[in-house]
Amino acid sequence: MTNNQANAQNATLAERDAKHLWHPYTQHKTAALPVGIVRGEDALLWDENGKQYIDAIASWWVNPYGHSNKFIADAVYRQLTTLEHVLFGGFTHEPAVQLSEKLIEILPTNQQKLFFSDNGSTAVEVAIKVALQYYYNKGEKRTRIIAFEDAFHGDTFAAMAASGISFFTEAFKGSLIEVTRIPVPVKGKKQESLKAMQELAAAGNYAAFIFEPLVQGAAGMVMYEPEPLNELIALCRKNGIFTIADEVMTGFGKTGKNFACNYLTEQPDMMCLSKALTGGTIPMAITTFTQQLFDGFYDDDVNKALFHGHTFTANPTACAAALAGLELLQQPDMQQNLIRINENHTRFKATIEHHPRVKTVRVLGVILALELLTDSKESYYGGLRNRLYNFFIDNGIIIRPVGNIIYILPPYIISDDLLANIYEKVALAIEKIV
Ligand SMILES: *Cc1c(COP(=O)(O)O)cnc(C)c1O
């Protein structure tokens, strides 16, 4: 045995991690060591010391059907041992074709073409590039994008430009495409939002409007009604501005319907899907388009094609996981889970929303967000957030508050008992942590 191997045997996962690994959204100088997780089952995870955690946020909103899901694992194993990967340039395969057929069945009826990539950010990059190149191909000068304040669309450059949470993007300000922000049409801001859009739409140089439909996840599960979004989309349509529904977070049941767009009467021109797409197992994303957008690239001139691709585009194994996930989502039991969690959330909301330390509680589908009353504006990764986060971790619950907002977005298969445990700890945190 070498010295390294001997050291590795005595050190914890967290200590070995600290030697060479760099974590997302982490200031390593001040952050605690990460928790070393060794196993997951349904809504539970276990760390290297045997401590149990309830995954109350579905591991960043990706895992609807439970950790280490056997049904998905079997489908992935069958695919890995049949055809694990093949290039998608000039080739195709059954899992990708079948997935396109199944998705088209449940997507808004105007969505006709699917483009694969690797994650939520790339799904957004593709959507923005398609909007810009559509007009480039037509010889029309539309180079700007419209997005909501406090939006989050990912961390690559175009996605970052569209994102409005400033400390995520501050260092790159000079290098981003031009994006104009409008207010989110939350209660009391609807007119302001519509008026801002009316002014921009008249300007004629915008290619697209990108939005998180009904729920802005990273902003702290900020929610708004379908009706003003219908009006914004209609305004865009009238003025040649393509609409991009970023359903990376909201897709596949989170809002109680397959997609948040199912609450709308207007349909977006493009949709971005990832996160729960593969049941939280393998990274993959899809951007979906109307026929009109596809036709804007369909030409005898090769230069009008979409020159975008990723090495692992439409990886068959990821497609097999997505197909298994879709099958699970559509089972009556799983649909019943969406209703059951929403009912639990609604009951908890009623017990807690009048608490003197609670400003407001929002519920949509399986998402519950509780905003604490604070004297000062709490920063995203500030002190209150850290005290809450540590309290929940100590109590065996994975919740990542955003500033003064505590949210729950559990795997759909979570039991009523585990949900009750989460609510109890949230109520306790409200009493104890200020
Ligand atoms: C998470 C998220 C993204 C980015 O997805 P990644 O897979 O992290 O790149 C984009 N848009 C929304 C709405 C998201 O929630």
* Domain boundary pick from 272, 295, 329: 329
Q: Cβ(211) to ligand 1 under 6 A?
A: no
Together in a domain, 276 and 356: no
* Domain boundary pick from 329, 350, 371: 329
Tell me what percent of the residues of the chain surpass a pLDDT of 90. Answer: 92
Q: Which atom of ligand 1 is nearest to the CA of 249?
A: 15
Beta strands 215-216 and 222-223: pairing type? antiparallel
In a domain, residue 169? The reply is yes
Q: Which residues contact 242 (CB under 8 A, 6 or more apart)?
A: 131, 134, 207, 208, 209, 236, 269, 270, 293
Instruction: Check pLDDT > 60 for residue 212.
Output: yes
Q: CATH number, domain at 401?
A: 3.90.1150.10
Q: Cβ(249) to ligand 1 under 6 A?
A: yes
Residue nearest to atom 11 of ligand 1 (CA): 153
- Can you tell me the distance from the alpha carbon of 429 to that of 432, in angstroms, rounded to the nearest whole number? 5
In a domain, residue 14? The reply is no
Together in a domain, 322 and 354: no
Together in a domain, 301 and 370: no
Instruction: Check pLDDT > 90 for residue 260.
Output: yes
Q: Cβ(124) to ligand 1 under 6 A?
A: yes
Together in a domain, 150 and 237: yes
Together in a domain, 39 and 84: no
In a domain, residue 11? The reply is no
Lowest mean pLDDT among 148-157, 338-347, 372-381: 372-381
- Can you tell me the distance from the alpha carbon of 246 to that of 261, in angstroms, rounded to the nearest whole number? 10
Q: Which atom of ligand 1 is nearest to the CA of 120?
A: 5
Mean pLDDT to the nearest integer, 59-77: 98
In a domain, residue 55? The reply is yes
- Can you tell me the distance from the alpha carbon of 291 to that of 112, in angstroms, rounded to the nearest whole number? 6
Instruction: Check pLDDT > 60 for residue 3.
Output: no
In a domain, residue 15? The reply is no
Q: Cβ(278) to ligand 1 under 6 A?
A: no
Q: CB–CB of 260/235 below 8 Å?
A: no
Whole-number Å distance, alpha carbon 28 to ligand 1 midpoint, is 23
pLDDT at residue 318 in the model: 98
Instruction: Check pLDDT > 70 for residue 72.
Output: yes
In a domain, residue 21? The reply is no
Beta-sheet strands, E only, within 165-214: 179-182, 206-211
pLDDT tens digit sequence for 372-384 = 998 777 677 778 9
Mean pLDDT to the nearest integer, 245-254: 98
Mean pLDDT to the nearest integer, 160-181: 89
Domain that holds residue 162: 72-329
Together in a domain, 116 and 172: yes
In a domain, residue 9? The reply is no
Instruction: Check pLDDT > 70 for residue 187.
Output: yes
Mean pLDDT to the nearest integer, 176-201: 96
Together in a domain, 323 and 420: no
Q: Which atom of ligand 1 is nearest to the CA of 274?
A: 7
Tell me the three state secondary structure of residue 227.
helix
Together in a domain, 61 and 88: no
Q: Which atom of ligand 1 is nearest to the CA of 124?
A: 10
Mean pLDDT to the nearest integer, 1-16: 73
Together in a domain, 293 and 350: no
Among candidates 199, 223, 204, which has minimal Cα distance to 213? 223
pLDDT tens digit sequence for 277-331 = 999 999 999 999 999 999 999 999 999 999 999 999 999 999 999 999 999 999 9
In a domain, residue 17? The reply is no
pLDDT at residue 7 in the model: 59
Whole-number Å distance, alpha carbon 74 to ligand 1 midpoint, is 27
Together in a domain, 81 and 195: yes
* Domain boundary pick from 329, 363, 385: 329
pLDDT at residue 167 in the model: 80
DSSP code at position 67: B
pLDDT at residue 4 in the model: 57
Q: Which atom of ligand 1 is nearest to the CA of 121?
A: 9
Substitution candidate for ligand 1 out of 248, 249, 271, 278 with most atoms within 8 A of CB: 248
Mean pLDDT to the nearest integer, 238-242: 97
Integer angstrom CA distances of residue 339 from 324, 343, 365: 21, 6, 7
Q: CATH number, domain at 130?
A: 3.40.640.10
Together in a domain, 258 and 351: no
Q: Cβ(254) to ligand 1 under 6 A?
A: no
- Number of domains making up the chain: 2
In this structure, the number of other CB atoms found within 10 A of the CB of residue 312 comes to 17
Mean pLDDT to the nearest integer, 163-182: 89
Together in a domain, 112 and 61: no
